[in-house]
C-alpha cells in the first residue's frame, strides 16, 4: 500500500482545512517545496496535491507550485482541485502531474470526464469520490449531491475508472480516524478498484488495517503536520 502525504495549497502556501471548511484554515509552511522534499527524504514516493484556490475558483490556480514540486522532486504527484476543463487538465499534465483527480466534473459533466478517460487512459485519471452521509460531495465540498457513493463508484468502474480517492468529509482533519467500515464495503463491492483512502487517517494501526483490507493507498495529511504520525514511522512502514 502506498503512503501518500498530502499538500493542500492556498495562496501558494501549505495549509490544512478542517472538514473542508475554508474558514478553518491553518498554514503549516510558506513553502510547499520544503515540505515535499522532507517527504521525499523520508523515502516516500508519492504526493497528493490539492489546489484549494482552484477548487473554489473552479479552474486551476496553483499550477506554478505544481510545476516547482514536479521539477525539483522525484515524487509521483497526483493533482486535483478545480479541474473543470480539458485546458485545466493539459496545464496540470504539462506542469508535471503524473495523475489528475476529477470529482465535481465527474458528477456535473460526466461526458467530459469520460472523454478524459478515453484520451489519457485510466492510469492517469483518478475519480474523486468524496462523500458525506453516503452521498457524493462536490465543488470543494461546498455542495452535496444526490449521487450515492456506491452507485457512483460502480457506474464509473463500468466506464473504465480504475483509481479512486475517496474521502469521508465528516472525518477529514479531525484526527479521529477514517471511514474504515465504508472502505471495507467498497473493497468488497469492487475488489479490483484501486482504492485510495483519505480523511482522518491518524494512527499506524489504522494504516495497517487499510493495508490488510487491500487499499491501494492511504492519503495522510493533518496527522503528519500535527505530529500524530512521524515521517520516521511512515518511513519504516
Place of cell 482541485: 81
Rounded CA-CA distance 141/85 in Å is 19
In sequence order, what are the residues at sequence separation of 6 or more whose Cβ sits closer than 8 angstroms to the Cβ of residue 159? 114, 117
Neighbour count for residue 230 (Cβ, 10 Å): 13
Catalytic sites, residue numbers: 8, 130
Place of cell 457506474: 155
Neighbour count for residue 163 (Cβ, 10 Å): 19
DSSP per-residue letters across 141-163: TTEEEEEEHHHHHHHHHHTT--E
8 Å CB contact between 124 and 100: yes
Q: What is the 3-state secondary structure (H, E, C) of 128-142?
A: ECCEECCEEEECCCC
User: In this structure, what is the dihedral angle of CA atoms 38, 197, 121, 139, given to the nearest 10 degrees?
Assistant: -90
Amino acid at each position: 500500500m502506498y503512503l501518500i502525504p498530502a499538500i493542500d495549497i492556498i495562496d501558494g502556501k501549505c495549509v490544512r482545512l478542517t472538514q473542508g471548511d475554508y474558514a478553518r484554515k491553518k498554514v503549516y509552511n510558506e513553502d510547499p517545496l520544503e515540505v515535499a522534499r522532507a517527504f521525499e527524504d523520508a523515502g516516500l514516493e508519492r504526493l497528493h496535491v490539492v489546489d484549494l484556490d482552484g477548487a473554489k475558483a473552479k479552474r486551476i490556480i496553483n499550477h506554478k507550485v505544481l510545476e516547482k514540486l514536479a521539477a525539483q522532486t522525484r515524487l509521483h504527484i497526483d493533482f486535483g482541485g478545480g479541474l473543470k476543463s480539458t485546458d485545466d487538465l493539459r496545464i496540470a499534465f504539462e506542469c508535471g502531474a503524473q495523475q489528475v483527480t476529477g470529482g465535481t466534473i465527474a458528477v456535473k459533466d460526466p461526458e467530459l470526464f469520460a472523454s478524459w478517460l478515453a484520451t489519457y487512459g485510466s492510469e492517469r485519471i483518478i475519480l474523486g469520490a468524496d462523500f458525506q452521509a453516503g452521498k457524493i460531495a462536490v465543488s470543494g465540498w461546498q455542495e452535496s449531491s444526490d449521487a450515492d457513493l456506491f452507485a457512483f463508484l460502480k457506474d464509473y468502474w463500468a466506464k473504465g475508472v480504475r483509481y479512486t480517492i475517496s474521502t469521508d468529509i465528516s472525518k477529514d482533519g479531525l484526527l479521529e480516524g477514517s471511514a474504515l467500515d465504508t472502505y471495507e464495503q467498497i473493497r468488497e463491492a469492487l475488489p479490483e478498484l484501486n482504492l485510495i483512502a483519505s480523511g482522518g487517517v491518524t494512527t499506524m494501526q489504522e494504516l495497517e488495517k487499510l493495508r490488510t483490507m487491500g487499499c491501494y493507498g492511504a492519503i495522510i495529511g493533518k496527522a503528519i503536520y500535527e505530529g500524530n504520525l512521524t515521517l520516521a514511522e511512515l518511513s519504516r512502514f
